[in-house]
Every structure is written in structure tokens, then in C-alpha cells.
């Protein structure tokens, strides 16, 4: 099966077998051809071609860096100067970002070509991409299914190979869960590893950007350019960025992998359990050993997250008032009417639900009972991981309890939808890095597994994922719709 990774296109550019302009046109054509997936909100055809021409000039002058001329897509949550940035919301449908996010600038400075902005759940709230103002995205493996969310457009676009790589953001699982549903690699780095400046805020203590790619090697290439300290983000970590590609081939001899037996109970699709068992033996053959561990407070993760994330979103989304920028209701009678109607006309149902929950848990009288209690539970969840990492190097778990579900299957039951993130959410509460890697199929739908590491162990996670991918081929499978190209 053909696989066209960033690393391979990088070699072709280097050998001058292809130009960035040719590559860019190739992907723009594919994006048009597979428009029906609805993975893009904005296609940047003209600016992309201009960037590609510039990249080719730099290469001709001997000034190309490792990523120069490689095309990719941004989740539409990253501000891109002069380009519409919607965050999947009617509220920002008319918003042309006046500045770029740090991540946008960094990839731009690295010479990458921005093909377009991908579809997503409104303000990154969701697990199925069904909350987008721009409509649902289809899973390329079965178009009746969701691609996962909130980075569903990025996941579907990478899986169908209509872009070689994309960015995503992960507040409770939004990189890893869609990566699992679409059969790609998705890394959520340590909180603070990548700047949040210019990345539209959902829940600021949890949000983190990361790469969504076909392989761990590509994720390493992108992370090299995305990571780093930023004075404009007060939670950004001021620690050096290693070359994440340098350790991809390190040995796994002696690696201690933690397994949480309760993760593999009744709530898990048994085919996912079996695929992870197979993956475990692959890793054991490479020198790893598995150790049983416990995370006693893990069951608190979902309720804790929905208190903390909703509280933070209710505060972050207060800025959309119909006055400063974004949607404004027509002919308001007074200021209160302007606020009320702008917000009620432009926010979708899920966003409103979160704002209401968040306002409630922060209100005086309920603050101690909910918000404060959730902060305490958050601490316990972090302490569990801290204790576990005394005995193991990484934790191997499912990414999702089931494979991609049907469109509209869970839209009427928010709690059922929230449970999609049962294996990913605790990681954000603890600020840890974690990666999804494809590890099998259930029928035609991909299965993902998750490796969770201690703070700032992205290099090790990428190393393990890369070694696994050197000894498996799940990540090379391409959905039928693309197999003829």
C-alpha cells in the first residue's frame, strides 16, 4: 500500500524530484475531489500557491529548512492573519484574524504551505464533529460514521491523504480520539509544550495543540517546529526543545509499560482489547515489559473535566458579546438585547449547554460544592499518575471505548457522547503527553491505542510509536475511497 508521509515528501523535495508548487497543486486538487467529506471550512488555494512558490525560491537559493515547501492544514482554531478563522462557530463566521497564532507563525517561518483550515466542533466542544456550524465531517473509512472530534476535519483529511499532515488541539481528547476513529497518529504534548497564543481558547488550563499525521516520524518532524517557549503565553514551558527525530530509533529494551486492568473491562469493545493485546506482544518482542498498575481515581475524570472545562469555557466565551468582533444581532433595541440576541443566535446548542453548566458551577453557593471539589479531584487524578510513573515509563491504554459511531447516533444523549473520552480526559487534567497510534481494525473501522507518558516525555512516546510502526502496518492502510489514487 502506498504511503505518502511528510518524511517522504521531504526527501522528494530535497532530491528536487518534485517542487513545492507541484505538491501543493496535487493536494489542492485532492481537496477539491474529496470535498464531500466536508473536512475543510476554508481552502487557501491562492495563498498556498504563493507560499509554495516562495518555498521553491528559498530551496533554489539553498535556504530551505527541513519543512520548507511541505504542505499541511490547520485546525480552524488557530488564528491565521488575513484568513478567516471561525473555530467552527457562526459567532466567528465573519472573523478574519488580524494576527497569527504562535504555532501558525512557527510553521510559516519553517516554510510550510498552509492548504486550508479544517472543520471542527464549535469552539472545540464535542467528540464527533457534529457540533460544527459548517456541518458534520464524514469518516473516510465509512462515510456514515463520524470522524471523532473536535479535530474531526484534520483527522479525516489526514486519513484520506488529502493532506499529508494537520494540526489539532486537545482539551480532553480532541487530537487522540479523532486520530483513533480515523486511523492516524495524533500527539497531545505536555501542557505548555506548545504555545497557546492565538489558539482560540476553550478551557485554558487543559488546551494543548499537537500534530496529526500518518506516522510518528511525521509527528516528530512537526513537533520540532511547533514546540517551544513563548513569552506571549504565560503557561508556556521555558525548557529546551530536543530534536524529536533524533531518538526515534532508540531501543525499547527494558521499557516498562503500565497496564491498568480495569480499563479492559465490560465498557470496552472486545476487538479493541484484542488489538491492544497484539500490540503489547509486538512491544514485548522489542524488549518492553508490561506491569499492572492502578489509577484509583480515574473514574472521577469525566465529571471533574466537565466541571473544570465548562467553568473555564464560560469565562473564556464571555468575550463574544456582539460588540467587539464576531456576530452581531440585527437591530438591537438596547445593549442587553444586543448581548442576549448576539449570543443566543450565534452559539450552538452544545456551547450554550457548557456555558450554562460553567456559570452554574462557578456561581456563589455552588462554587465550593462543584468547582472547588473538582479542583481537588483533579489533584487526586494527577497524584495517581505521579505514583504510577514511579514504577513504569509509559502507560498503554485504549484511546476510545469503541470505534467510530454512526452520525446522529449520540447527538441526543450528551452524557453518552461525553463518555467517548473516558480514556483520554484524565491525561489533560494531569497535563501529561499522550499519543494515539493505529493498532488494528474492527471491520473496516480503525482501532487506536494510547501511550501516556510523564511530563515532557514526548521524545520517548514518539520513539515507542515509531518502533511500533516499524513492526506493524496499520498506519499504512488507506481508506478505499483513496486506494485507487
Per the listing, cell 528559498 goes with 58
Binding mask 172-191 for ligand GLN (x = CB under 6 A): xxx-----------------
Binding mask 410-439 for ligand GLN (x = CB under 6 A): -----------x------------------
Q: How far apart are alpha carbons 199 and 77 in whole angstroms?
A: 6
Residue 316 binding ligand GLN, by CB under 6 A = no
Binding mask 377-416 for ligand GLN (x = CB under 6 A): ----------------------------------------
197 neighbors 303 (Cβ within 8 angstroms): no
Of 141 and 305, which CB lies nearer to ligand GLN in the complex structure?
A: 305
CA 87 to chain CA centroid, Å, is 14
Active site residue 160: no
Candidates 302, 327, 342, 317; CA nearest to 427 is 302
Q: How far apart are alpha carbons 411 and 131 in whole angstroms?
A: 9
Could you tell me which stretch among 27-35, 125-133, 209-217, 393-401 binds ligand GLN (CB under 6 A)? Answer: 125-133
φ/ψ bin of 149: left (φ > 0), alpha (ψ from -120 to 50), beta (otherwise):
beta
Residue 124 binding ligand GLN, by CB under 6 A = yes
**DSSP letter string over 214-234?**
SSHHHHHHHHHHHB---TT-T
Q: How far apart are alpha carbons 129 and 401 in whole angstroms?
A: 18
Candidates 170, 230, 384, 458; binder of ligand GLN (CB under 6 A) is: 170
Question: How many residues bind to ligand GLN according to rule CB under 6 A?
Answer: 13
Binding mask 136-155 for ligand GLN (x = CB under 6 A): --------------x-----
Could you tell me which stretch among 121-129, 154-162, 238-246, 379-387 binds ligand GLN (CB under 6 A)? Answer: 121-129
Residues 250-309 that bind ligand GLN (CB under 6 A): 309
Of 85 and 174, which CB lies nearer to ligand GLN in the complex structure?
A: 174
**DSSP letter string over 66-90?**
TTTT-EEEEETTB-BTTBB--TT-G
Which of 30, 75, 106, 410 is an active site residue?
75
The string over 321-334, giving b where at least 16 C-beta atoms fall within 10 Å of a residue's C-beta and e elsewhere, is ebeebbbbbeeeee
Residues 346-365 that bind ligand GLN (CB under 6 A): none
3-state SS class at 436: strand
Active site residue 75: yes
Active site residue 174: yes
Chain residues that interact with ligand GLN, rule: CB under 6 A: 124-127, 150, 170-174, 202, 309, 421
Amino acid at each position: 500500500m502506498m504511503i505518502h508521509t511528510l518524511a517522504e515528501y521531504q526527501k522528494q523535495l530535497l532530491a528536487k524530484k518534485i517542487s513545492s508548487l507541484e505538491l501543493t497543486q496535487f493536494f489542492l486538487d485532492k481537496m477539491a475531489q474529496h470535498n464531500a467529506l466536508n473536512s475543510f471550512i476554508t481552502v487557501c488555494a491562492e495563498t498556498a500557491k504563493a507560499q509554495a512558490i516562495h518555498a521553491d525560491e528559498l530551496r533554489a537559493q539553498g535556504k530551505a529548512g527541513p519543512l520548507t515547501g511541505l504542505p499541511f492544514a490547520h485546525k480552524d482554531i488557530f488564528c491565521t492573519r488575513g484568513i478567516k478563522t471561525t473555530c467552527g462557530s457562526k459567532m466567528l463566521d465573519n472573523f478574519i484574524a488580524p494576527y497569527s497564532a504562535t504555532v501558525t507563525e512557527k510553521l510559516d517561518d519553517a516554510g510550510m504551505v498552509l492548504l486550508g483550515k479544517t472543520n471542527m466542533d464549535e469552539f472545540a466542544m464535542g467528540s464527533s464533529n457534529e457540533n460544527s456550524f459548517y456541518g458534520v465531517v464524514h469518516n473516510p473509512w465509512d462515510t456514515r460514521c463520524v470522524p471523532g472530534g473536535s479535530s474531526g476535519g484534520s483527522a479525516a483529511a489526514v486519513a484520506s491523504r488529502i493532506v499529508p499532515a494537520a494540526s489539532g488541539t486537545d482539551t480532553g481528547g480532541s487530537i487522540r480520539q479523532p486520530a483513533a476513529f480515523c486511523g492516524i497518529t495524533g500527539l497531545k504534548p505536555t501542557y505548555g509544550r506548545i504555545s497557546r497564543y492565538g489558539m482560540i481558547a476553550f478551557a485554558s488550563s487543559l488546551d494543548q495543540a499537537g500534530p496529526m499525521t500518518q506516522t510518528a516520524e511525521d509527528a516528530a518532524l512537526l513537533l520540532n517546529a511547533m514546540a517551544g517557549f513563548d513569552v506571549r503565553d504565560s503557561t508556556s514551558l521555558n525548557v529546551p526543545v530536543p530534536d524529536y527525530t533524533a531518538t526515534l530509533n532508540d531501543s525499547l529494551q527494558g521499557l516498562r509499560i503500565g497496564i491498568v486492568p480495569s480499563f479492559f473491562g465490560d465498557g470496552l469493545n472486545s476487538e479493541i482489547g484484542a488489538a491492544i493485546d497484539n500490540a503489547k506482544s509486538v512491544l514485548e518482542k522489542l524488549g518492553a515489559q508490561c506491569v499492572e498498575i492502578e489509577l484509583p481515581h480515574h473514574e472521577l475524570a469525566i465529571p471533574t473535566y466537565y466541571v473544570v472545562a465548562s467553568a473555564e469555557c464560560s469565562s473564556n466565551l464571555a468575550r463574544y458579546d456582539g460588540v467587539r468582533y464576531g456576530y452581531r444581532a440585527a437591530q438591537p433595541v438596547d445593549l442587553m438585547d444586543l448581548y442576549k440576541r448576539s449570543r443566543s443566535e450565534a452559539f450552538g446548542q452544545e456551547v450554550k449547554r457548557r456555558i450554562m453548566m460553567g456559570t452554574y458551577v462557578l456561581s456563589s453557593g455552588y462554587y465550593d460544592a462543584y468547582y472547588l471539589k473538582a479542583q481537588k479531584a483533579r489533584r487526586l487524578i494527577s497524584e495517581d499518575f505521579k505514583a504510577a510513573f514511579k514504577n513504569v515509563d509509559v502507560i498503554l491504554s485504549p484511546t476510545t471505548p469503541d470505534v467510530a459511531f454512526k452520525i446522529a447516533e449520540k447527538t441526543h444523549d450528551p452524557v453518552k457522547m461525553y463518555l467517548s473520552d473516558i480514556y483520554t480526559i484524565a491525561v489533560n487534567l494531569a497535563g501529561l503527553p499522550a499519543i494515539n497510534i493505529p493498532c488494528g481494525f474492527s471491520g473496516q473501522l480503525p482501532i487506536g491505542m494510547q501511550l501516556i507518558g510523564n511530563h515532557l516525555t514526548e521524545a520517548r512516546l514518539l520513539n515507542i510509536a515509531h518502533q511500533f510502526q516499524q513492526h506493524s502496518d496499520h498506519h499504512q492502510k488507506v481508506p478505499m475511497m483513496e486506494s485507487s489514487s
